[in-house]
């Protein structure tokens, strides 16, 4: 006679696969873990930078049951967004912007959330227990849950790393009040490799498995609203939204496959877009261009600031007039970035 709980778990996995997920594993939502203490130390050290929401939601983030005390099982889903080629090759052309691989297609939040809700409804109907759905924006630590469920492990760059998918997995979580059978946790398989740490353009890793977000180009280009320190402006190169260096150099990517999800396929305008074209965007143009993209949430001003830093690093004096025009922009941070870019290009012209 088959175990009804195990049979249900297999039904859940089959339904997840049918919905397009590439991984589905389960973990206990109630078991103790050290992740909450690690997060507390991260925030206490100020390494979260201006992400004040990490501090205000810290108590709820420490453990899944701190946010929902009825949580018993976490169903962790992974969606592969692996690129077809090495994206870092694109950094060689300084006149074009670099957009992180994850942001080149449709906004993954919207894509995953709808599928999670469908799967959660199935689980609730089968178990008769309540469920809650999470995709990145809620105060839930998905990566430790994913490691506990066996999807992968948090590498030395602190991102989730999978032996099957490399560094390229979006995560979603369903918390259930039902007690379901769980999978074996994944151990750490980084060994002595330090490729991700060595690749970081800004030295954002004070030690293996530790990140100082204040030095991370993903944080600076996306979360940080003000003008950057000089060292980071130069280090960003042509990276205008996010940074993939620590992900892309990982040797485990040799096992990764190109994403099969059509909505995550890179749009032509998101792969090495000309800086001149991006710098000319006004607010309406920005919103129209990125309306289905996660890029839209940072707004035109922050995006154009990033573009201007890349223009200043390009050495392309043909971009000088564009930078000069933006020294009169209504936004003071954009004006500051434009002035910096002008000075750099004028110096390059001499």
Tell me the per-residue pLDDT of 69-89, one tens digit each, with 9 for 90 and over: 999 999 999 999 999 999 999
pLDDT of 98 above 90: yes
pTM across the whole model = 0.93
H or E segment and range at residue 75 = strand 73-80
CA distances, 8 to each of 85, 93, 318 (Å): 38, 51, 62
Q: What is the pLDDT of residues 145-159, one digit of tens each?
A: 999 999 999 999 999
pLDDT of 5 above 70: no
Residue 258 to residue 85: CA distance in whole angstroms: 8
pLDDT of 137 above 80: no
Residue 198 to residue 333: CA distance in whole angstroms: 31
Q: For the CA atoms of 52, 57, 62, 37, what is the dihedral angle to 10 degrees?
A: 30
Quick one: pLDDT at residue 39? 82
Quick one: pLDDT at residue 1? 39
Quick one: pLDDT at residue 4? 66
- If one compares 350 and 245, the residue with the highest pLDDT of the two is 245
| Mean pLDDT calculated for residue range 236-240 | 98
**How large a percentage of the chain has pLDDT more than 70?**
98
Q: Please give the positions annotated as active site.
A: 136
Quick one: pLDDT at residue 48? 86
**DSSP category for residue 16:** H
- What the block records as the tokens of 16 is 């997840």
Q: What is the pLDDT of residues 158-215, one digit of tens each?
A: 999 999 999 999 999 999 999 999 999 999 999 999 999 999 999 999 999 999 999 9
Quick check: helix, strand or coil at residue 180?
coil
pLDDT of 310 above 60: yes
- What the block records as the tokens of 144 is 């430790």
pLDDT of 32 above 70: yes
Tell me what the pLDDT averaged over the chain comes to.
94
Residue 309 to residue 339: CA distance in whole angstroms: 10
Q: What is the pLDDT of residues 160-171, one digit of tens each?
A: 999 999 999 999
Quick one: pLDDT at residue 16? 98
- If one compares 56 and 225, the residue with the highest pLDDT of the two is 225
Phi, psi of 264, rounded to the nearest 5 degrees: -95, -5
Quick one: pLDDT at residue 3? 62
- What the block records as the tokens of 5 is 């709980």
pLDDT of 2 above 80: no
- If one compares 322 and 3, the residue with the highest pLDDT of the two is 322
- What the block records as the tokens of 4 is 């009804």
């Amino acid at each position: 006679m088959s175990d009804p709980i195990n049979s249900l778990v297999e039904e859940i996995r089959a339904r997840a696969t049918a919905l397009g997920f590439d991984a589905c594993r389960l973990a206990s939502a109630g078991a103790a873990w050290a992740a909450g203490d690690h997060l507390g130390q991260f925030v206490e050290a100020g390494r979260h930078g201006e992400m004040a929401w990490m501090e205000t939601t810290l108590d709820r983030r420490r453990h899944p049951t701190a946010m929902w005390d009825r949580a018993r099982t976490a169903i962790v889903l992974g969606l592969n967004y692996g690129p077809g080629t090495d994206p870092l090759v694109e950094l060689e052309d300084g006149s074009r912007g670099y957009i992180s691989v994850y942001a080149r297609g449709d906004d993954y939040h919207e894509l995953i959330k709808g599928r999670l809700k469908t799967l959660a409804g199935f689980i609730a109907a089968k178990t008769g227990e309540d469920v809650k759905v999470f995709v990145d924006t809620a105060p839930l630590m998905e990566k430790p849950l994913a490691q506990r469920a066996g999807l992968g492990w948090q590498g030395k760059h602190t991102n989730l790393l999978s032996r099957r998918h490399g560094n390229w997995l979006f995560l979603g979580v369903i918390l259930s009040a039902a007690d379901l059978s769980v999978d074996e946790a994944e151990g750490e398989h980084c060994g002595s490799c330090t490729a991700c740490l060595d690749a970081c353009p800004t030295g954002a890793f004070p030690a293996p498995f530790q990140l100082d977000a204040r030095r991370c180009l993903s944080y600076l280009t996306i979360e940080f609203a003000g003008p950057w320190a000089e060292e980071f402006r130069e280090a960003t190169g042509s990276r205008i939204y996010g940074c993939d260096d620590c992900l892309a150099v990982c040797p485990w990517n040799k096992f990764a496959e190109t994403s099969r999800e059509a909505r995550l396929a890179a749009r032509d305008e998101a792969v090495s877009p000309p800086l001149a074209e991006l710098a000319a965007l006004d607010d309406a143009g920005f919103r129209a261009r990125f309306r289905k993209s996660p890029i839209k949430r940072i707004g035109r001003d922050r995006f154009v600031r990033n573009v201007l830093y890349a223009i200043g690093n390009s050495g392309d004096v043909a971009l000088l007039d564009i930078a000069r025009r933006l020294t009169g922009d209504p936004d003071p941070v954009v004006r500051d970035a434009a002035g910096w870019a002008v000075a750099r290009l004028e110096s390059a012209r001499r």
